[in-house]
Amino acid sequence: MATLFTGIAELTTNADAAAPTATIADAALLVDGGRVAWSGAATDAETAIARRDSGLLPTSRPAAAVSRSEAEVARVDLGGHAVIPGFVDSHTHLVFAGDRADEFEARMTGVPYAAGGIRRTVAATRAATDDELRARLAALVAELHAQGTTTFEVKTGYDLTVDGEARLARLAAEVTDEVTYLGAHVVPEGADRAAYVDLVCDGMLAAARPYVRWVDVFCERGAFTEAESERILRAGADAGLGVRVHGNQLGTGPGVQLAVRLGAASVDHCTHLTDADIAALAGSDTVATLLPGVEFSTRQPYPDARRLIDAGVTVALASDCNPGSSFTSSMPLMIALAVREMGMTVGEAVWAATAGGARALRRTDVGHLGAGARADLMVLDAPSRRHLAYRPGVPLVRRVYRGGEELSPR
């Protein structure tokens, strides 16, 4: 059965290439078989249904192949609320144990952020059982869904042993298809650096490979050098994995240039960029994924999204949900921070949190509500997407649908 959503005060589809941040007022949306069949002005909805019944919409099957029950159309009146695509959170670290609230409190009193705190989470995660990790993971996924996130990536990186990284990858694969191998998060305490890089490129990669789609590396001072990062990423690419990079978070460095040179899908953080970094990104299809929750939680300067967008760089927003530097799963918060602190318009921020995240994952089926897209959408308890920035901290996500099925009624 198809579903026609009406009573949409403002619809964001991200489907108009000529006007990617445009909205449709007084809109309707037709979902059929878990996919978007049509969207447009509510006054055109009946015509769209007739075309669907005749097999004339681009996503339609031939009319003769549609059963009577499938031809029926349920109608849902959304009562004047706004609708946007489901959020695509392309950078998270959801499989972990332990708590680092004390570090956050210390940073708020002036203690600088450093990458070494990751090792505390590694110790707690190694000590946790599968069921304990699975329970924490399920709770975080529920948070994501309740706040409108319908597609998300999850990284390993909080065990740093062969069996442990494979375990984290396996658990992550239970909740998402977008799993990233991050054995190169930091060098474990007491490990020989060269031997550990060898392990990341060989036995650890082989153990995690059945569960993952991506390889990532923390190319940063206190983590991995440019040469080490390139070796690790090339090993992952040779194993058939897509490339992602943590880069330019704590200062200028080689991460962005390395990501572009290797054709990475995304380079994440991008807090400290040179003109050459921006030019390289603008001339590539590597997405700059910005993680403002980190700057909020570490009191570092926010990335200059305006500078990136004006240069023609594709920008995504993601939560970087992790226990150390950004323990939030809220994509609405990322939008509010991007508008308030990073020079983005609301439309740009919503696009970056949906279509931008999809591009960072090289996905074309999510992040938009164009014909043929998976019907991932959220209904806001507001007449306009502007309220995501206008009313920060308010639970505005009223309903969430993934593949046309409601996830979290409110």
Rounded to an integer, what distance in angstroms lies between the CA atom of residue 4 and that of residue 39? 9
Lowest pLDDT segment from 59-63, 340-344, 361-365, 394-398: 59-63
Question: Would you call 398 helix, strand, or coil by DSSP?
Answer: strand
The set of residues, in sequence order, having a beta carbon less than 8 Å from that of 312 and lying 6+ positions away, is 282
Distance between first and last Cα of the chain: 23
pLDDT-above-70 percentage for the chain: 95
Q: In 3D, which of 242, 255, 247 has the Cα closest to residue 359?
A: 242
Question: Which residues is 155 bridged to in the sheet?
Answer: 180
Rounded to an integer, what distance in angstroms lies between the CA atom of residue 222 and that of residue 214? 22
pLDDT over 80 at 410, yes or no:
no
**What would the two tokens of residue 225 be?**
């050098």
Q: In 3D, which of 252, 232, 251, 254 has the Cα closest to residue 243?
A: 232
Q: Give residue 405's pLDDT.
A: 96
pLDDT in tens, 270-327: 999 999 999 999 999 999 999 999 999 999 999 999 999 999 999 999 999 999 999 9
Q: Give residue 126's pLDDT.
A: 97
Lowest pLDDT segment from 49-63, 154-168, 384-398: 49-63
**What would the two tokens of residue 189 be?**
């305490």
- State the average pLDDT for the chain: 95
Lowest pLDDT segment from 33-47, 60-74, 99-113, 212-226: 60-74
Mean pLDDT, residues 380-396 taken together: 97
Rounded to an integer, what distance in angstroms lies between the CA atom of residue 408 and that of residue 399? 6
pLDDT in tens, 228-278: 999 999 999 999 999 999 999 999 999 999 999 999 999 999 999 999 999
Q: How confident is the model at residue 145 (pLDDT cuts 50, 70, 90)?
A: very high
Rounded to an integer, what distance in angstroms lies between the CA atom of residue 214 and that of residue 259? 13
pLDDT over 80 at 374, yes or no:
yes
Q: Give residue 386's pLDDT.
A: 98
Q: Give residue 140's pLDDT.
A: 98
Lowest pLDDT segment from 20-29, 59-68, 93-102, 335-344: 59-68
Single-letter code of the amino acid located at 249 = Q
pLDDT over 90 at 13, yes or no:
yes
Rounded to an integer, what distance in angstroms lies between the CA atom of residue 179 and that of residue 355? 19
pLDDT in tens, 46-86: 999 998 878 768 766 555 555 545 578 999 999 999 999 99
pLDDT over 80 at 113, yes or no:
no
Mean pLDDT, residues 326-341 taken together: 98
How many Cβ atoms sit within 10 Å of the Cβ of residue 32?
A: 24
